[in-house]
Amino acid sequence: METVTTRTGHAVMRVVVLLLMMCLIPRAGTASGLSLLAPDDIALVVNTRNPHSKTLALYYMQKRFVPWRNLITIDTVEGESCSRQEYEKNIAMPVMAAIRGLEARGQKIRCILLVYGIPLKIRQTGPYPEDSNRLLELKREKRQLMEDRKQARSSKKSQGEVAKITEKIRKVQLQINNLTRRNTRASVDSELSLVMAGMYPLAGWIPNPLFQAYGNDSASGIRPEDVIMVSRIDGPDPATVRRIIDDSITTERTGLSGIAYFDARWKEPKGKKRLSGYALYDAAIHHAADLVAKSSLMQVVIDNTPKLFQPGQCPHAAIYCGWYSLARYVDAFQWQRGAVGYHIASAECSTLKKRGSKVWCKRMLEKGVTATLGPVFEPYVQAFPFPDMFFATLIYTGASVAEAYWSSLPYTSWQMVLIADPLYRPFARRTSRGFR
């Protein structure tokens, strides 16, 4: 897993502190996007080519009282990956049309739930044949602009004029990147969150307007109300999907209980040292452990050495967050019903079906986790949800897993996937009763 320096993390601690000071569940319709999901807010997407997809969706809708009109059927490939063309034609377009139809009847969809049988990831693809002429035009335009800038500099024109040409070059290059599909592989889930957002750059990531640290900053031009939260109920087999649904509903009745395990790699940093990359996320794991401990909801165990928890070391695991054993799940946990597992490493959600794979998302689901998350490709460390924000939102506001995930996720149109019942609120009952 790679890392690049990011400034977003420096606002995280302030946001978490404010969240804890409020200790209230935000009202629906806030600009931040964090609000209580209701069954009416969710549209389920099923694949007609998979015999289990619709059956599992109907099971969920019956259990969660989701209106039948909120079921969207698509016809797409059954594999775990698809091309960009397949995504646009057979996933994005029918989903967008269906949501528009629901909105025309006064139904506001705030969350899309992908049900077993929908591809996980969009492969890297080259330019479409129909774009070849446009690409040639753009490349000629870029060469001319580069020559214009060179002449402007040699003739000592004002910096303002040179800057204008540079900005034109940047915009042309962005169009070239979009048409060549450079760096455009992504998770289906993350891309689908912007299905109603109109045109946006496909290369790289987009700052997530629902991320709490951004507030109302819409530098990408995409507004919070343009983003639809996306989750999926998926796994190695249909039985796992049914278990996720049943465990979520059962756990909500009493609240999630057990032990919270946090596996950092280094000791907690002291002072106000500016952190980035790995160090920032390691500190966030420490902070998450502190926040869970202060809630007094469960015992907290934290390890601050490079070695991961070892087999048998984590009985009664209700929460886990740690890193970094790449595609090598460590069977350290005896998972409680309703457990939430979060492992930070590259491509740990690259497959949920491949036999013999030891990626963490797949293995945690097989072993009994109810909610988990991970990337389908290399995400860079700063693309992961911040652990302290994620767990603080779950515990101190009683929010659902989907709301906690989307409010702590820095980027969209990228690599991350949430596997969970989006309505699952593991601490709702305990939050409503207050804390000791």
pLDDT in tens, 287-314: 999 999 999 999 999 999 999 999 999 9
Phi, psi for 210 (deg, rounded to 5): -85, -10
Q: What is the pTM of this model?
A: 0.83
Picking from 362, 340, 365, 363, the residue whose alpha carbon sits closest to that of residue 351 is 362
Tens of pLDDT along 138-151?
999 999 999 889 88
Q: Give the pLDDT band of residue 219 (cuts 50, 70, 90).
A: low
The answer to whether the peptide bond before residue 324 is cis (omega within 30 degrees of 0) is: yes
- What local confidence, expressed as pLDDT, does residue 276 receive? 82
Report the range of poorest mean pLDDT among 99-113, 148-162, 221-235, 383-397. Answer: 148-162
C-alpha 397/C-alpha 343 separation (Å) is: 23
Q: Name the pLDDT band for 50 (thresholds 50, 70, 90).
A: very high
Summarised one tens digit per residue, pLDDT across range 121-140 is 999 776 767 788 888 899 99
Task: List the single range of 19-33, 67-81, 234-248 with lowest mean pLDDT.
Answer: 19-33
CA distance 237 to 50: 12
**CA distance to 170, 215, 366, per residue, from 11 (Å):** 28, 10, 36
| Cα 320 to Cα 130: distance, rounded to the nearest angstrom | 48
Between the CA atoms of 131, 136, 141 and 144, what dihedral angle is there, to the nearest 10 degrees? 170
- Per-residue model confidence (pLDDT) at position 435: 45
Q: Could you give the strand order of the β-sheet that contains 111-115, starting from the edge strand earlier in sequence?
A: 71-74, 42-47, 111-115, 229-233, 416-419, 371-375, 333-343, 314-322, 259-263, 299-303
Concatenate the DSSP letters of all residues of 44-82 into one string. Answer: EEEETTSTTHHHHHHHHHHHHT--GGGEEEE----SSEE
Which residue from 336, 347, 364 is spatially nearest to 417, judged by alpha carbons? Answer: 347
- Report the range of poorest mean pLDDT among 18-27, 346-355, 369-378, 388-397: 18-27
Q: Identify the pLDDT of residue 180.
A: 72
Distances in Å between the Cα of 1 and the Cα atoms of 51, 59, 146, 279 are: 36, 38, 35, 14
Distance CA 223, CA 200 (A): 12
pLDDT digits (tens, 9 = 90+) for 87-111: 999 999 999 999 999 999 999 999 9
Determine phi and psi for 215, rounding to 5 degrees: 60, -125
- Tell me which H or E stretch contains 121: strand 121-122
Average pLDDT score over residue span 45-71: 98
202 vs 23 pLDDT, higher one: 202
- The whole-chain average pLDDT of the chain stands at 88
